[in-house]
Amino acid sequence: MKKLSILTTSIISALYISTVLGQSIEMLATDSGSIPENLIEDLQSGNTTPEALLNSEIGIQNMQATSTSEELLKAEMAQEILTDDKQPEESIKPEKIDILENKDIKINNAYYGYNFFTNRQELNLLENLPSPNEYQVGPGDELIITMWGDTELRQKDIINRDGNVYFEKVGLISLVGLDLEEVKTVLKSRFEKVYSSLKGGKSATTFMEISLGNLKLINIHFLGEVNNPGVMPIHPFSTLTTGLIQAGGVSIEGSLRDIKIIRSGETLTSIDYYQYFKKGNIVNNVRLQNNDVISIPIRESAIKIEGLVKHPSIYEIKTEETLEDLIQYAGGLEFNASEKINIKRVLPIQYRIDNNNIFQNLWVNFSEANEIKLLDGDIVSIPPLIEIEQKVTIEGSVKKPGEYFIFEGMTVINLLDMAGGIFSDDYWETVYPYRADLIRRNIFNLTTSIIPIKLDSLKAGRQNQNHTLNNGDKLIIYPSSINNYQKQVEIIGEVKNPGVYELDQNMGLSDLILRSGGFNFNSYPAEVEINSVDPFDIKPNSLISIRKIKVDSEKFNSFSEIDPYLLKHKDQIIVRKYPDFEFHRNITILGEVKFPGNYSLKEKNESLGDLIDRAGSLTEESFIEGIKISREGKRVILDRKIGDKVDFSVPIFENDTILVPKFYNIVEVIGEVNNPGVIQYKRGLSLLDYIDKAGQINRNGDKKTVSVYYANGESKGRKLFFFYPKIRAGSRIVVYPKPEELPIDRTQLLTDISSTIIQALSLLIMVDRLNN
């Protein structure tokens, strides 16, 4: 059963192995060549990824294993295909390695090229690479034999430590020192001896494919400025590029310009990755072999280029290279870059003679870039062109005011034409014809001068007014209304829309009243006042002239063409309110009256009693002493007549609110008592009686400050000794707390008393001596 299960799994997996790991002989990869220039340009401009560059290097296009095939391969490799009775030699299991993820490595992207090696997505490409024909098989490599046709077979075997592999029915085969192409030849020859249907070339009835499965890893020594130095097992198909990716990349202290591959103690090749990144040149990017040494030296220089270049960054420049090479590595200059290039330099210590001139600021021309040598730490700045625009300005009464570029020999007429022109019949009337001003800056732009221009003469063709313009000139065209002013009149008072109005040439008083919306309901048209000012008719001690005019509103129905009362500039018209006229004076009465609601005062001195009568008198539940009158947010305290009756003669004013509450025969005790609350009112009980009913004053209460607030708004406090205010229904008794007393310092008190006694005794002794 075990063999049957293994055979079933092998047959199913064969459908996927051929596309993933078992590449046919015809599709094997060849040596790497140059990368197409368009791919390099896309990489530099950000339109592609390093993955595409790696694909091009190793000669594959979009080779992605399906998830289904990957899962089948993992399941298949988890089983033992060969048992002890199938293979006499000890089986060597292929060693697996986790490719570094570099979680702790931080690459400064300001340095050019280093992040190419730290993108972990590219590492997955190694699992899908085709097997190169020149690949030398060895111990640990897995061989997959697939046969179909008259004979069907699929078998996997691993090369043992001695370089031998055992196949059932075929026997032990030695593959020491053979590359993949030679292995295919040897195996096919041996299998043809057992399976005769493989022979005959095109007439054969059984077909055979030999491919590699799991491969042994090779040990590579990464030395110098690499992020993960040391011996590292990597994929056997790796080149220098893919090997550095698996090793976590080059540190920013390392050089990308001279990375060496050392094999058997001799330098095999040296690669300049700037040629790889910029030109796609990957000559000598050989495949790595077991125990190769990758040596990465210290970076030779770090030179920053910024400003108007296509790829500003920090680059490594070799000793023999120049500023021109740096600019080329940076993608060249932008179209608006300046011819002048700035170099900030800190003179290296080996070039310093003294402490002077250590910090240098150099300016060179772009034409000299191929002669300028750079030093480590230089900062190269490419500034933009300084845009110097030659412009003139026109403003004022023109169709298109603004700035215009000047050209050689440009005149005032040219500028006027560019601004839409002013000499056409329909526009000429809007222009002040006698004067325009040309404002010109004098030397160094420190001062300006005015050049007057007669526009009417210019229109007539006099060229002495058609001045040639200079850079920075400003032409001002004045409007025809420059000597005019807007004439206005004002109407205030009892009209619907009081305000300031533009004065028409023949505007009269009735015209202005109509324009302001007409009279208000309470206006007094019998006496409309016109106040006039005249700067040419000023009299001593006189400010204005006044006219009072009676206006008949019926006059608006039949008007004449000429108003007898023509208005002048700055006239002020006042329409006053009708004497003694007033709108309704509204008040509100609420609560316990028969007809509560809003009322209008009938007379100016209407009293509270009059208003209550108009409201149908008080109800049986009304509390007369509790009547409240609110006026402008404040309560009006009602006086009492003899017999403690409320005085209803108090006058009522507009917007007053009167509240007649219901009668509640209670007294409220609050404040510093043991049981504050509401107590039933009983005639004859005193203030102290109510306090006793409230549990008496507590230890914080102050008998001296007890106050009584009556329902009508009055308030009274305790009189001399024990004479407390009388209590009435609806009263509120408030017991206030004792004032805070400052703590007494007994020691200080005794000291002060002793000092006072001593001073008094001293004074007595002195007096006694004086008397004697």
pLDDT class of 46 with cuts at 50, 70, 90: very low
Buried b vs exposed e over 561-596: b needs ≥16 C-beta within 10 Å?
Answer: eebebebeebbbbbbbeeeeeeeebebebebbbeeb
Per-residue confidence (pLDDT) for residue 642, from 0 to 100:
55
HEC profile of 575-623: EEECCCCCCCCEEEEEECECCCEEEECCCCCCEHHHHHHHCCCECCCEC
Class of domain 586-660 as given by CATH? alpha beta
CA atoms within 13 A on the CB side of 56: 21
Which pLDDT tens digit goes with each residue over 172-183?
Answer: 999 988 888 899
| Residue range 666-735 in CATH 3.40.50.720 | no
Computed over every residue of the chain, the mean pLDDT equals 81
Give yes or no for residue 89 having a pLDDT over 80. no
More confident residue, 510 or 536: 510
Give yes or no for residue 60 having a pLDDT over 70. no
Given a contact cutoff of 8 angstroms between Cβ atoms, the answer to whether 712 and 648 are in contact is: no
pLDDT class of 1 with cuts at 50, 70, 90: very low
Given a contact cutoff of 8 angstroms between Cβ atoms, the answer to whether 360 and 409 are in contact is: no
Among residues 348, 346, 278, which one has the least CA distance to residue 315? 278
Which pLDDT tens digit goes with each residue over 2-23?
Answer: 344 444 334 333 333 333 333 3
Give yes or no for residue 740 having a pLDDT over 90. no
What single string gives the DSSP state of each residue in 150-194? Answer: SS-EEEEEE--TTSEEEETTTEEEE-TT-BHHHHHHHHHHHHHHH
- Close Cβ partners of 591 (under 8 Å, ≥ 6 residues apart): 622, 658, 659, 660, 661, 662
Per-residue confidence (pLDDT) for residue 354, from 0 to 100:
80
Give yes or no for residue 249 having a pLDDT over 80. yes
Q: Return the structure tokens found at 184.
A: 């295919």
Parallel, antiparallel or unpaired: strands 715-717 and 707-709: antiparallel
User: Could you tell me the fold of the domain covering 391-483?
Assistant: Outer membrane lipoprotein wza fold like (3.10.560)
Least confident stretch, 97-106, 436-445, 652-661: 97-106
Give yes or no for residue 155 having a pLDDT over 50. yes
> In this structure, what is the dihedral angle of CA atoms 194, 200, 203, 208, given to the nearest 10 degrees?
50
Given a contact cutoff of 8 angstroms between Cβ atoms, the answer to whether 176 and 163 are in contact is: yes
Give yes or no for residue 452 having a pLDDT over 50. yes
Per-residue confidence (pLDDT) for residue 247, from 0 to 100:
87
Per-residue confidence (pLDDT) for residue 560, from 0 to 100:
60
CB atoms within 10 A of CB 438: 21
Q: Return the structure tokens found at 131.
A: 């097997």
Give yes or no for residue 101 having a pLDDT over 70. no
Q: What is the DSSP-derived secondary structure letter of residue 98?
A: P
Per-residue confidence (pLDDT) for residue 284, from 0 to 100:
66
Alpha-helix residue ranges (DSSP H) falling in 240-392: 240-246, 273-279, 323-329
Check for a shared fold between 303-382 and 586-660: yes
Least confident stretch, 103-107, 374-378, 709-713, 741-745: 103-107
Instruction: Return d(Cα 13, Cα 579) in angstroms, integer.
Output: 113
More confident residue, 453 or 745: 453
Which pLDDT tens digit goes with each residue over 561-601?
Answer: 556 788 999 999 999 998 888 888 899 999 999 999 999 99
Instruction: Return d(Cα 246, Cα 256) in angstroms, integer.
Output: 16
Per-residue confidence (pLDDT) for residue 557, from 0 to 100:
63
Q: Return the structure tokens found at 160.
A: 């043992």
Give yes or no for residue 87 having a pLDDT over 80. no
* Amino acid symbol at 536: F
More confident residue, 357 or 472: 472
Which pLDDT tens digit goes with each residue over 399-436?
Answer: 999 999 999 999 999 999 999 999 998 899 999 999 99
Average pLDDT over residues 211-220: 88
3-state secondary structure of 384: strand
User: What residues does each domain of the chain span?
Assistant: 2-212, 303-382, 391-483, 488-577, 586-660, 666-735, 744-772
Parallel, antiparallel or unpaired: strands 266-271 and 230-234: unpaired
Per-residue confidence (pLDDT) for residue 33, from 0 to 100:
40
Given a contact cutoff of 8 angstroms between Cβ atoms, the answer to whether 598 and 587 are in contact is: yes
In angstroms and rounded to an integer, the radius of gyration of the C-alpha atoms of the chain is: 56
Which pLDDT tens digit goes with each residue over 350-398?
Answer: 888 887 888 999 999 999 999 999 999 999 999 998 877 789 999 999 9
Average pLDDT over residues 511-515: 90
Instruction: Return d(Cα 207, Cα 198) in angstroms, integer.
Output: 6
Q: Return the structure tokens found at 709.
A: 């607030």
Among residues 493, 502, 515, which one has the least CA distance to residue 573? 493
Q: Return the structure tokens found at 650.
A: 């108090």
Give yes or no for residue 759 having a pLDDT over 60. yes
Average pLDDT over residues 512-540: 87
Q: Return the structure tokens found at 397.
A: 């009464």
Q: Give me the count of residues in the chain.
A: 772
Q: What is the DSSP-derived secondary structure letter of residue 239?
A: B
Could you give the percent of the chain with pLDDT greater than 90?
A: 40
The single residue listed with the structure tokens 């730290």 is 118
CB atoms within 10 A of CB 131: 23
Q: Return the structure tokens found at 585.
A: 């004076």
Per-residue confidence (pLDDT) for residue 311, from 0 to 100:
94
Per-residue confidence (pLDDT) for residue 126, from 0 to 100:
52
Instruction: Return d(Cα 413, Cα 466) in angstroms, integer.
Output: 6
Contacts of range 40-43, beta carbons closer than 8 Å, 24 or more positions apart = 40/277, 40/278, 40/279, 40/280, 43/277
Give yes or no for residue 663 having a pLDDT over 70. yes
**Backbone φ and ψ of 206, nearest 5°:** -125, 140
Least confident stretch, 42-56, 409-423, 534-548: 42-56
Average pLDDT over residues 657-683: 91
Alpha-helix residue ranges (DSSP H) falling in 447-572: 455-459, 509-515
Among residues 201, 283, 275, 288, which one has the least CA distance to residue 236? 288
Q: Return the structure tokens found at 129.
A: 């690479």
Which pLDDT tens digit goes with each residue over 604-646?
Answer: 888 888 999 999 999 998 888 888 899 988 888 877 765 557 7
Instruction: Return d(Cα 189, Cα 180) in angstroms, integer.
Output: 14
| Residue range 488-577 in CATH 1.25.40.10 | no
User: In CATH, which superfamily holds the domain spanning 303-382?
Assistant: Outer membrane lipoprotein wza domain like (3.10.560.10)
Class of domain 2-212 as given by CATH? alpha beta
Per-residue confidence (pLDDT) for residue 702, from 0 to 100:
86
Per-residue confidence (pLDDT) for residue 669, from 0 to 100:
92
Buried b vs exposed e over 249-273: b needs ≥16 C-beta within 10 Å?
Answer: bbbbebbbbbbbbbeeeeebeebbb
E-assigned strand segments in 289-430: 293-296, 303-307, 313-315, 340-346, 359-365, 379-382, 391-396, 402-405
Instruction: Return d(Cα 685, Cα 545) in angstroms, integer.
Output: 76
